[in-house]
Chains A and B, each alone.
Chain A
Amino acid sequence: MYAQLVETGAQRVRGTDELEGQERVFQERIDAGVKIEPKDWMPEGYRKTLVRQISQHAHSEIVGQLPEGNWITRAPTLKRKAILLAKVQDEAGHGLYLYSAAETLGVSRDALIAQLHAGKAKYSSIFNYPTLTWADIGAIGWLVDGSAIINQIPLCRCSYGPYARAMVRVCKEESFHQRQGYDLLLALCNGTPEQKAMAQDALNRWWWPALMMFGPSDADSVNSAQSTQWGIKLFSNDALRQKMVDQTVPQAEYLGLTIPDPDLKWNEERGHYDFGAIDWDEFFNVIKGNGPCNRERLATRVQAYEDGEWFREGLNAHADKQAARGAAAA
């Protein structure tokens, strides 16, 4: 998802009855659905896993601004431009909520951002694909933000209080993102044949990367089992992906678009859509830094940060001057 393949350090998941002392009390609280708060005792593995997961999630929000920001100056109408600006601004806010949640675990935002800029931190694979046409902006809102909602709604109930509360705020705003994307595609699909073809092309390119967002099957993953026991993962990758496919297929049909999967068909027995095999080689290649835009995304992010240095310095200088004046007057 926005955090993919999160390492927990676990070799084997121990049941609550195998735990002792504080760790057992901690696990019993989680089993009872009591939220863990920043000052509560927590196992080091839980803290580290959450830092990894929340910071990856935050980085994804921030890097996720780039593919869409790319189209702000080229939006076809003033209305669409204002909507896209608001959407991209929301993503910056989502990043901030999440960095704040990570900071409650004893890391600083500046340190996390430095890790991202040094290429040491992961962010979602999806943002390493290019936005070639205006229809891609619609496809991102519909498919990428749609997938994010499916992942984030359960996280509103996760065991760590600050993360859960950040997710509540994010989810409130995310629905607008998905709808503006669908609305954009609806306009294209009701437009000229060329516009509809553009929408189809965007779906063709974004469908598989969107399904990859959920990550490979984690049915046998010890990390996922540990995260599940800790209450920071509530559904398997496959279950969330199935949900995304099931809800998206009828939406594509309404648009009159064809999902680029010849194996996609309704399975009456399962009550779900069956779909074709995902190219996980592509996914791991993107994760390793070899996607179409990995280098460009990171370089753009670093440049934006460096270009803002003079402004941050100016704010610091002003704050220091005001503080000195206050001290002199006192």
Chain B
Amino acid sequence: MIEFKNVNKWFDKLHVLNDINLKIPKGEVLVICGPSGSGKSTLIRCINRLEKIQQGQIIVNDTPVHDKSTNLTKLRAEIGFVFQQFHLYPHMTVLQNVMLAPVNVKKIAKTKAEKIALEKLEQVGLTEKSGAYPAQLSGGQQQRVAIARGLVMSPEIMLFDEPTSALDPEMIGEVLDVMVNLVSEGMTMCVVTHEMGFAKKVADRVLFMDEGKIVETGTPGEFFDNPQTDRASEFISKILTH
């Protein structure tokens, strides 16, 4: 479903992605962790071309993402993206936030789009907030709206970039619950996170990155209990004692 082939990317002299090779099959839940600056956010941002790559190829559903001829609109409609800082549109209500893409990208009629949007809001447990503005919601609620905004396009892939890192501790649970529900629906997910509980519970595979390289991959059991590299075991002990 998603494939990285010898992908390299530089920010000026900094080698942020160093010869990445990776296959993510349909339905897999992949958790990506690693220290800050290791390239994990950049990795998932390349999948919907929020970032460009300088070498190699990324293929999503047989589409080469970084080809000039690629229909980006269609590609992005199939990939939901959830940001650390939510990035809801502050001048629109919750419902308008969720409806924007279906109406303008998929050209779905407004009444129909509203129905779909309300379904997705129900899925994240926020139907009663549909008329509110983002500023009136808590961080956890905003992030759940952001997830609904991604889901409303019926994507095959959802990408999460540290979805709980900007949240107060008591709100992390409600967001993770929504994500766990998605897993049970068979969604293909790439999640950049340090939530070990989430990783252990639902991840099929954990990928550990450092300095732009994939250092280690394994099942959550293997990775957390028996890391193969010193770098990974050092990292795990740090987030455990944290």
Chains A and B form a bound pair: no
